[in-house]
Every structure is written in structure tokens, then in C-alpha cells.
């Protein structure tokens, strides 16, 4: 199943950029998931 989230590869690791937060919020609601301690942190692009 695809969730429609864009990913970004930084330092060899795939991350979900902050711009995808609204989509994540909608997915949480759709699938009944609560945000237990999840924090969006800005990515530092050096």
C-alpha cells in the first residue's frame, strides 16, 4: 500500500520532510493513530 508521502534522502537516510506533515495528520486520523510523542524536527541540509 502506498501512502502518498514524498521522501527525501539525506546523508544516506530517507526521511519524510516537514512539508508532508498535513498528509501525515490526515493518515493518523484515517487509520485511528494517535500522535504519541512524535515530533517534527527540521532537517539541516549541509
Q: Which domain holds residue 21?
A: 1-35
25 in any annotated domain: yes
Taking a C-beta distance cutoff of 8 angstroms, is the pair 43, 15 a contact? yes
21 in any annotated domain: yes
Calpha distance 16→20 (Å, rounded): 7
45 in any annotated domain: no
Rounding to the nearest 10 degrees, give the CA dihedral for residues 43, 29, 35, 15. Answer: -20
pLDDT value, residue 31: 86
pLDDT value, residue 35: 65
41 in any annotated domain: no
What's the whole-model pTM score?
A: 0.62
31 in any annotated domain: yes
2 in any annotated domain: yes
The sign of the torsion formed by the CA atoms of 17, 20, 7, 28 equals positive
pLDDT digits over 1-46, tens only?
788 999 999 899 998 888 998 998 888 889 888 765 666 666 665 5
30 in any annotated domain: yes
Long-range contacts of 24-28 (CB under 8 A, 24+ apart): 27/3
Amino acid at each position: 500500500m502506498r501512502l502518498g508521502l514524498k521522501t527525501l534522502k539525506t546523508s544516506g537516510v530517507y526521511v519524510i520532510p516537514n512539508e508532508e506533515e498535513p498528509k501525515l495528520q490526515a493518515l493518523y486520523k484515517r487509520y485511528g493513530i494517535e500522535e504519541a510523542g512524535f515530533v517534527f524536527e527540521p532537517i539541516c541540509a549541509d
